[in-house]
Amino acid sequence: MLVAIPTEAPGGLDATISEHFGHSETYTLVQVEGESTGEITVIPNEGHAKGGCMAPVSFLREQGVEALVAGGMGGRPLAGFQEAGVSVFSHEKMGTVAKAIEAFIAGELREFGPADACSSGCSGDESDPHHHGHAPIERVPIEGPADVRDDRVVTLDYVLRDPATGETLEVSEGRGPMRFLYGRGQIVAGLERALAGLSTGDRIRVAVPPEDGFGPRDPKRVIEVPRQNLPDDVEPGMVMAMRSPKGPTPVVVLSLDDDTARLDANHPYAGKELDFEVTVVDVQAAVVEELEAGRVLG
């Protein structure tokens, strides 16, 4: 079963679930087979521009999505998903994709009913990103320098490269900017330190060594498991998720034979020096609810 979750950029298992279903920056798609997870894919959200609030329904159905885990949505898209045979479940404030998928597999998520639809439905001004029954967050203007410091909402455009090869690993263009609560360890430490004191419009390039990024590679995280434990269509190079005490853990399939699968549970960027080129797009004050939740809410 292919499960979709609206997420904030850059998406993936560790991504924060977006509270605004139709206006999320990305959708993280997770293949679920019984009690295990398979391939994980992140796709940008085409938004409402193509077909209004029903566009995400058609878009996700075209991707082969069979279930959706989300927050609120209007009555029309909810009915559209149900008519298309897509089950919709409440994320129950799980926070991240990994936690939501773990709860989904365990059968702990509640399926949406008509009473769960936002009262504003799909009517009104569709250009308003909060029209699905969510009040916009009213942020108090920052007094004094609007620079990057603890507990401020920071928005970045970025390009991530491998300095050893010059290969571009990630870019925010087309995926949406990175948005996070500064000082909470939500981005790699080396980049977070380099951003301190910057203001909107500032642009820097930062070399982040492995110890300040995703850590060194650990040979012990390369493991072998019985081939029969994996889905039949798995191939070398695919990224999967395996259950662990900390929730689903992404792994790369290194090799397969008839009896054994060799998997790498190291982060794909572990052991690599990373070259970040970032532009500060915006710096805003966080609201009390965000400080309590420890993450950006809208």
- What 3 state SS string does the chain have? CEEEEEECCCCCCCCEECCEHHHCCEEEEEEEECCEEEEEEEEECCCCCCCHHHHHHHHHHHCCCCEEEECECEHHHHHHHHHCCCEEEECCCCCEHHHHHHHHHCCCCCECCHHHCECCCCCCCCCCCCCCCCCCCCCCCCCCCCECCCCEEEEEEEEEEECCCCEEEEECCCCCCEEEECCCCCCCHHHHHHHCCCECCCEEEEEECHHHCCCCCCHHHEEEEEHHHCCCCCCCCCEEEECCCCCCEEEEEEEECCCEEEEECCCCCCCCCEEEEEEEEEEEECCHHHHHHCCCCC
CA distances 122 to 15, 72, 295, Å, are: 26, 12, 27
Task: Give residue-wise pLDDT tens across range 139-196.
Answer: 889 989 999 999 999 999 999 999 999 999 889 886 678 889 999 888 899 999 999 9
In the structure, what pLDDT confidence band is assigned to residue 125 with cuts at 50, 70 and 90? very low
| Cα 139 from chain centroid (whole Å) | 24
User: pLDDT-derived band of residue 132, with 50, 70 and 90 as boundaries?
Assistant: very low
Q: Which residues lie closer than 8 Å to 47 by C-beta, 6 or more apart? A: 22, 23, 55
Classify strands 87-90 and 67-70 as parallel, antiparallel or unpaired: parallel
Percentage of residues in the chain having pLDDT higher than 90: 36
* Residue with tokens 């082969």, as numbered in its chain: 64
Instruction: Determine contact, residues 118/133, Cβ cutoff 8 Å.
Output: yes
258-278: average pLDDT: 92
State the Cα–Cα distance between residues 205 and 190, nearest whole angstrom: 12
Which residue ranges form the domains of the chain, and what is each CATH number? 2-116 (3.30.420.130), 152-213+271-293 (3.10.50.40), 219-264 (2.40.10.330)
Quick one: average pLDDT of 70-92?
76
Q: Which has the higher per-residue pLDDT, 78 or 289?
A: 289
Whether residue 231 is predicted with pLDDT greater than 90 in this model: the reply is: no
pLDDT tens column, 202-218: 999 999 999 999 899 99
Instruction: Examine the pLDDT at 122 and tell me if it is beyond 80.
Output: no
Tell me the pLDDT of the chain averaged across its residues.
Answer: 82
